[in-house]
Amino acid sequence: MTSIASAAIRFRPGSRAVPAGAVHTTPLGYDRADLPVGVRLPVPASAELVHRLSGCGEILVAFEGKLGDTLLALSAVRALVDWLRLRSVRVVIRAVGPYTGLITRTGLITCPTITTPYGRRAVIGDPAGIEQHGADATVNVVCDPAAPPCWSSDGRAHPDLPARHYLVLERRLGVRLPGTAPFTPVLTTAPTQLVEDLRSAGWLTGLTMAAITATSWPERKDYTARRYVALAEHIAERHQSQVRLLLIGGDPAEGVHVTPEAPRRHVQALHLDGVPADQLVDLFPYCHLVVGNDTGLTHLAAMADGGNGGGPPVVGLYARHGHGKWRTGLPHHHAVATDLSDRMHQGDLCPVRDAIAPDGDAHMDAFPPAAVAQVCLDLLNGVRQ
């Protein structure tokens, strides 16, 4: 069941493979399933890229842009590391920039403390990171979310950005890499003071739900604390238990502010504003459910590994952008999408890049809390996967 009868929105599970014929794709040029790991691809490699990377003793991972774009591009770093390991080449890999702590959690960084160049250097990162750190590099590998197409191979489409980034590098390097879907590296987590403080105050007991209110585009993507509270109330009433709702938002530059709301009959809500992503990643595995718009902290929640290879169900709300592209590809990262989001997904379109005006001005109004609550309840009860 993928539709929600009470609204023009649809549930799109993270575990479902997308057939190549269902969406607009670019053929990869080979069937990955038929090729052994390490074999040369039947499409030509980028000879200059391979030549320059082969002479480097250091890989610098440099992302300076948005959190969400960075997290969804870490699969490109994984592809480069996989290629180096296939070649048995020992290279120093380090990260710089505001996301160094998070990137280190992927296990892809070998020398996070080195600050001086180590031989010839290659830089991989977003356009802002390349501009800041790539001037003296032997080669730069740019991870631009607008660049890689939706690839298809073996009758399957790979719409999520992590798959796109990984496979575009595989093609350019000319070697069948070992990665398989999902291509997203997960982030290791550990108990922190924030978790201990919340637990001691009783916020992580019972049914705990996190809701992402932070967004870089509030006029289009803010679901609002009010709607999240209404969503939690529907869940609590149907689940017949009290919900502890963590409302996560604010700007870390403005400092951390923790503010409880007045208790309701079924919901206790706590505002966690300005908490850095490095701390939030350790909190998400303690939640039973995470709901947010298609923003960086929602992707972060999906990538947080609670120790068993995954975390709680994560539900993204997609009003305008394609739900397939702007997800991690992890099986527990789901989407609730409007008809417009579905069409953007099917045609591999972007409302910003392609200047596609929405059909109306509903935006996040398209998601009635009661309808989203039904999806969440099904996930909590194991009905949807």
**Both tokens of residue 310?**
């995954």
Q: Residue 3 pLDDT more than 60?
A: no
Element housing 173 (H / E): helix 161-173
Average pLDDT over residues 193-221: 89
Predicted pLDDT at 116: 54
Q: Residue 6 pLDDT more than 60?
A: no
Signed CA dihedral, 150, 305, 209, 272: sign only: negative
Average pLDDT over residues 287-314: 92
Average pLDDT over residues 80-94: 93
Q: Residue 275 pLDDT more than 60?
A: yes
Predicted pLDDT at 251: 84
Cα–Cα distance between 157 and 32 in angstroms, integer?
A: 12
Cα–Cα distance between 238 and 187 in angstroms, integer?
A: 33
User: Are β-strands 267-273 and 257-260 bridged in parallel, bridged antiparallel, or unpaired?
Assistant: antiparallel
Predicted pLDDT at 66: 95
Q: Name which of 114, 113, 122, 11 is nearest 57 in CA terms.
A: 122
Confidence of residue 291 (pLDDT cuts 50, 70, 90): very high
Cα–Cα distance between 329 and 250 in angstroms, integer?
A: 26
Predicted pLDDT at 385: 64
Signed CA dihedral, 90, 121, 124, 354: sign only: negative
Predicted pLDDT at 1: 39
Q: Name which of 139, 127, 138, 135 is nearest 66 in CA terms.
A: 127
Confidence of residue 59 (pLDDT cuts 50, 70, 90): very high
Residue 112 phi/psi, 5-degree rounding, is -70, -15
Average pLDDT over residues 184-193: 94
Confidence of residue 263 (pLDDT cuts 50, 70, 90): confident
Which of 29-38, 50-59, 107-116, 242-251 shows the lowest per-residue confidence on average (mean pLDDT)? 107-116
Confidence of residue 165 (pLDDT cuts 50, 70, 90): very high
Predicted pLDDT at 296: 95
Which of 57-71, 181-195, 292-306, 354-368 shows the lowest per-residue confidence on average (mean pLDDT)? 354-368
Q: What is the pLDDT of residues 7-57, one digit of tens each?
A: 589 999 999 999 999 999 999 999 999 999 999 999 999 999 999 999 999
Confidence of residue 2 (pLDDT cuts 50, 70, 90): very low
Confidence of residue 254 (pLDDT cuts 50, 70, 90): confident
Predicted pLDDT at 373: 97
Cα–Cα distance between 36 and 204 in angstroms, integer?
A: 46
Confidence of residue 359 (pLDDT cuts 50, 70, 90): low
Q: Residue 357 pLDDT more than 90?
A: no
Residue 349 phi/psi, 5-degree rounding, is -110, 160
Cα–Cα distance between 73 and 106 in angstroms, integer?
A: 12
User: Are β-strands 3-4 and 92-96 bridged in parallel, bridged antiparallel, or unpaired?
Assistant: unpaired
Element housing 381 (H / E): none
Domains of the chain: 3-15+188-380 (3.40.50.2000), 31-185 (no CATH)
Confidence of residue 111 (pLDDT cuts 50, 70, 90): confident
Q: Residue 218 pLDDT more than 90?
A: no
Cα–Cα distance between 229 and 243 in angstroms, integer?
A: 10
Q: Residue 366 pLDDT more than 80?
A: yes
Q: Residue 112 pLDDT more than 70?
A: no
Predicted pLDDT at 114: 53
Predicted pLDDT at 309: 64
Predicted pLDDT at 5: 40
